[in-house]
Every structure is written in structure tokens, then in C-alpha cells.
Amino acid sequence: MKCPFCGNLETQVVETRVAEDADFIRRRRQCGACEKRFTTYERPDVNFPAIVKKDGRRIEYKRSKILGSMNLALRKRPVSTEQVDSAIERIEEKLLNLGLREVPSTRLGELVMRELRKLDKVAYVRFASVYRSFEDIDEFKTLVDEVRR
């Protein structure tokens, strides 16, 4: 590791700690030349595929967007934050396992709907009714009948 003060490449790790949430490792280092101390952080570098919108635009995957959509569908429903976090982790794992550089937004929407269906039927219907943009009441009725089965 290069010293940020003098540029020397000879540095020594003095202390290593795992963060409380175990998301990164914190290392205290000391330069062999100028003897100044500095801190480095190690985090995993995960590259999610780009999301291709219906109009062809490519956007960066953002966990916060999925969380916001799911929280809106789950509003006033008896589902814990831990359950939502687990569902999002399963979605992200599936995205990474696809091994693709780009994923259509429709595929991501289907993954979200699948997880919502497991969590809460009402939230699933709420999300699906907006996501699939139903044109008439019969399409909505078909979805509700499907969920009842």
C-alpha cells in the first residue's frame, strides 16, 4: 500500500478490525519511511448488471429504488424490515447469478413481484397492478383470482 503522505510503497499493517456490520475491514497502517499512520478500508467490489429500461436507456442498478418500490407496496402491511432486506438480497443474488452485463427492467420487475408474492399477497397485487399497468378491471380481477388460488 502506497503511503498517502510520502508515496513510499513500504507500509506495515499495525491493526486490523472488522466493521461492526461486517461490511468492510479497517486497517491501520504505518509508513516505513516517514512513520506516519493512516487508515485503509477494504470492501467487496460487486458489479451489478445495468438495467435496460423499456425505452432503451441503461441505468445503474440501485438497491434504494427496489427498496422504495417494495416499501410502497408493503405500506401498512405486517412485514418486517428484516424480511424485506432478505427479499432484496435474494433478488440481488439472482441478478448476480445471471452473469449478464445488462438485464431488462421487466426481468427485474418480475423478480420483485416473485419476492413480494412470497412476502404478502396484498403487496404483490398492489405492485403488480402498477407494474403491469392494467387497462381494465378484468385484468385486475384475473390477477386477484390468480393470487387466491
| Residue 144 falls inside a structural domain | yes
How do residues 74-122 score in pLDDT, each as one tens digit? 999 999 999 999 999 999 999 999 989 999 999 999 999 999 999 999 9
The domain tally of the chain equals 2
Q: pLDDT tens digits for 31-45? A: 999 999 999 988 777
Same domain for 128 and 65: yes
pLDDT tens digits for range 18-27: 877 677 899 9
* Per-residue pLDDT, 19: 76
- The parent domain of residue 34 ranges over 11-42
Which amino acid makes up residue 141?
A: K
Residue 42, number of CB atoms within 10 A of its CB: 12
Q: Same domain for 33 and 65?
A: no
- Residue 62 pLDDT grade (very low, low, confident, very high; cuts 50, 70, 90): very high
Please state, in angstroms and as integers, the Cα–Cα distance from residue 71 to each residue in 66, 88, 126, 127, 140, following that order.
8, 11, 11, 10, 21
Q: Specify whether 29 is located in the same domain as 87.
A: no
Q: What is the pLDDT of residues 121-130, one digit of tens each?
A: 999 888 888 7
CA distances for 57 relative to 52, 54, 60, 82, 137, angstroms: 6, 7, 10, 32, 31
- CB distance 26 to 19 below 8 Å: yes
pTM, two decimal places:
0.65
Amino acid identity at 52? V
Query: Using an 8 Å Cβ cutoff, are 139 and 132 in contact?
Result: yes
